[in-house]
Chain A
């Protein structure tokens, strides 16, 4: 089965949407293409452990993952989460309707919890621009991304929460920040004063 999950890469201060395509077939193998760097190549180990520790598994089939556009170098470990979600949906271990309407980014720990990523704000801005419905990211970065209005920003602390959200259960709520109010609050209290 073929599934498309969306992530994002930051170049300079702008982000570009990356499509993570996961294809399951008969046979054995794990093939990750699309110019991933070493951190992304190592992600299969993290994903396998994280899935196992959450009662799921990395299926023993032939998995082909393409990160499009295929000639752009992908860097960083933040693609663990979209890769994991793609694998789970493609192997029918979970159901995730409308997953293509969301941008998902995050680095996985071996127990399934999430580590912070970089560039959350440019990614959120691009997601809003391209009309995505929401953005899943590690909870440590949620405040940066929630600045963007008109996008459902979900700060998640582990893989379970994302799975439950798509299963229709779960209590995940989008984080909303009144940017202007927060901004003007501490404007007049500088740390160092003349």
Chain B
């Protein structure tokens, strides 16, 4: 989650029910770097237009929106007869959490493609055209199969392969294209649940994330419209993620062994650039690549094939 926050990468959490996916997602806004005054102004404007400000002055926490999966595409993207910002605009400069991603209607997910690319959504109707900003980080969660379990030795998977294929294919294609990191979330054993030791607090994690973001801001200073690693185009990836021989070998082996696609290649490079930034390393080395490769579960054989 730290890597996703540092590089602005969209992330999908896959795991059985109760593993803690929603809990993790809710805490993402707390490790994103604090909003600048300008970002806060933009976000407050949108919430003001939607009438959702509730006695608060300038918003200082990043918004966290988690719409239910029965949402319509107008409510998600914005519009209606009296134009209102949709959930993606309400999540501007914050996090949009789509819980149970395959449960969303297919056309609703399709409608999110342009905003994910352009960071703004233009709603055109017969009588008006309105543009809302919508630059957000997408966190999605899903169960690995309709029954909820997959590859878990203690719980039998009761879905047929055909059902699973259909379930997983709902999210394949353009949307998956834009999700850089896939994580499998496994259930927490009792010893860890009952453990009293505290993990790191958000404030600590946020410091590292902010430092990594600063590196990226400096890197992309000259380039318009790119503010963090997730937005890099192929050309920029070639420029900033140049690999040494050892890393190239590792990547080659991984791609052949795990049968990763070309889509995965670019993604791995982007994520490894963020990992290197978090490490404070100027160049991407093989351990960064190795870590990034782990985060492409859905591209492997046995998932979407």
Residues of A at under 8 Å CB distance from B?
Answer: 10-13, 73, 75-76, 116-122, 125, 140-141, 143-144, 146-147, 177, 179-180, 182-188, 190-194
Q: Are A183 and B83 in contact (CB under 8 A)?
A: no
Identify which of A76, A118, A147 contacts B57 (C-beta below 8 A): A147
Q: Which residues of B contact A13 (CB under 8 A)?
A: 42, 45-46, 49, 85, 132-133
Q: Are B132 and A193 in contact (CB under 8 A)?
A: no
Q: Which residues of B contact A12 (CB under 8 A)?
A: 49, 83, 130-132
Contact count A vs B, C-beta below 8 Å: 97
Q: Which residues of B contact A11 (CB under 8 A)?
A: 83, 128, 130
Query: What does the 1/0 interface line of B20-54 toward A look like (CB < 8 Å)?
Result: 00000011011100100100111011101111010
Q: Report the Cα distance A122→B31, complex, angstroms.
A: 29
Q: Are A141 and B30 in contact (CB under 8 A)?
A: no
Identify which of B51, B200, B202, B205 contacts A116 (C-beta below 8 A): B51
Interface flag for B199 (CB, 8 Å): yes
Q: Which residues of B contact A184 (CB under 8 A)?
A: 60
A-B contact pairs, 30 of them (CB 8 A): A11-B83, A13-B42, A13-B45, A73-B127, A76-B82, A118-B48, A118-B49, A119-B49, A121-B44, A121-B53, A125-B45, A143-B57, A144-B48, A144-B57, A147-B57, A147-B58, A179-B37, A179-B58, A182-B58, A183-B40, A183-B58, A186-B60, A187-B60, A190-B27, A190-B30, A190-B61, A191-B61, A192-B30, A193-B30, A193-B201
Q: Report the Cα distance A111→B85, complex, angstroms.
A: 32
Q: Report the Cα distance A128→B268, complex, angstroms.
A: 47
The 7 closest A-B pairs by CB, nearest first: A190-B30, A118-B51, A121-B48, A12-B130, A143-B57, A119-B49, A194-B202
- B: number of interface residues (CB 8 Å): 39
Chain B residue with the shortest CB-CB distance to A124: B48
Residues of B at under 8 Å CB distance from A?
Answer: 26-27, 29-31, 34, 37, 40-42, 44-46, 48-51, 53, 55-58, 60-61, 82-83, 85, 127-128, 130-133, 199-203, 205
